[in-house]
Amino acid sequence: MQVIDDLIQKFLKELNYQPILEMLLHVKSGKKLRSKLLLAISGESKEAISICATIELIHLASLLHDDIIDESELRRGVKSVNSEFGTKNALMLGDILYSKAFYELSQMNTQFANIISDAVVKLSIGELMDVNLSQDFNTDKDKYLSMIYNKTAVLIEASARCGAILAGLDEKSFGEYGKNLGLAFQMIDDILDIKGDEKTLGKPSMADFKEGKVTLPYIYLFESLDEEGKKQLKSMFKKDLNEQEKIWINTQFKEKEILEKSILEVKEYAKRAIDAIEEYSNQKLKDIVKAMIDRNF
């Protein structure tokens, strides 16, 4: 992961504008799931490292823009770039990282450039779907699934496909693995928003519902409530919840065993991911799935 970070630094130094580096100094490094995945499939090579660095740049750019859209003040336990340096800086830094990533992609084999640029279009559409779904109280699980597929799973799927191409393995099977892992990953993220605390999450807990995001657990909760309960839940949508309201929601989650039901769904997608690559018996890829389900941040 250090080699990837070094390459990202090299890319950014080439831009020759100090504020870019200063702002990025403030950003806490992420888990680099997409790179770990790609390398676990492809093995190490110079080309693989370059692809990883561009994917991480794109991922980081998307988070900078996402924090502006979600008006998030915290990311990975530190102030988000928009809250530390202002929206205009965060917006432009996102554009710079994203454009530099595309410049680097244009230097690569077109196969990789095609897969990744297509993924970025979809992830942007996914974010737009998220924004639009947040306008109203969405109870349609299919719409939620399509949104998280585009917003999150597509770039993970693309990473897995690039890894497979590099290794001369079946792109379709590994794409299926990445897609299902990505869906499970976002579902876990949505469950942790409810289950986690600010310290481990690095962002406030139960923020999704306030932001208008009716995630999988809330969809299941809504389905399980009677008319009175449905009304009650809807009345809390997009509001700054007080302690009593949070207790009411958490009690309903417990009584109806909603988080358990949501985790069963995550495990279903995790199983699909592992099944897709069963014949390759790659233990590292199985471990990535397991670590992702067990994570608490």
Q: Exactly one of 70, 104, 157, 176 binds ligand FPP (CB under 6 A); which one?
A: 70
Using rule CB under 5 A, residue 208 touches Mg ion: no
Residue 61 backbone dihedrals phi, psi, to 5 degrees? -60, -40
Using rule CB under 6 A, residue 62 touches ligand FPP: yes
- Provide the mask over 54-83, with x wherever binding to Mg ion is found by CB under 5 A and - wherever it is not: ------------x---x-------------
Q: Exactly one of 23, 120, 147, 221 binds ligand FPP (CB under 6 A); which one?
A: 120
Whole-number Å distance between alpha carbons of 193 and 208 = 7
Task: Spell out the residues 6+ positions from residue 14 whose beta carbon is closer than 8 angstroms to its own.
Answer: none
* Residue 168 Cβ vs ligand FPP, minimum distance, rounded to whole Å: 29
Whole-number Å distance between alpha carbons of 243 and 81 = 29
* Residue 151 Cβ vs Mg ion, minimum distance, rounded to whole Å: 10
Using rule CB under 6 A, residue 180 touches ligand FPP: no
| Residues 34, 55 contacting (CB under 8 angstroms) | yes
Site for Mg ion, residues 133 to 162, rule: CB under 5 A: none
Give the residue from 80, 69, 42 showing the smallest Cα distance to 174.
Answer: 42
H or E, element range at 239: none
Using rule CB under 5 A, residue 189 touches Mg ion: no
The entry of Mg ion, ligand FPP, none near residue 98 (CB within 5 to 8 angstroms by kind) is: ligand FPP
Among the listed ranges 24-32, 54-62, 163-171, 234-242, the one in contact with ligand FPP (CB under 6 A) is 54-62
Using rule CB under 6 A, residue 42 touches ligand FPP: no
Which DSSP letter does residue 73 get? S
Using rule CB under 6 A, residue 127 touches ligand FPP: yes
Using rule CB under 5 A, residue 190 touches Mg ion: no
> Rounded to a whole number, what is the distance in angstroms from the first to the last CA of the chain?
19
Give the residue from 38, 279, 60, 45 showing the smallest Cα distance to 161.
Answer: 38
| Residues 183, 269 contacting (CB under 8 angstroms) | yes
Among the listed ranges 5-13, 110-118, 123-131, 239-247, the one in contact with ligand FPP (CB under 6 A) is 123-131
Size of the site for Mg ion (CB under 5 A): 2
Using rule CB under 6 A, residue 161 touches ligand FPP: no
Single-letter amino acid, residue 57: L
Whole-number Å distance between alpha carbons of 167 and 39 = 10
Here the tokens at position 105 are 């992609």
Interaction site with Mg ion (CB under 5 A): 66, 70
Interaction site with ligand FPP (CB under 6 A): 58, 61-62, 65-66, 70, 72, 94, 98, 120, 123-124, 127, 151-152
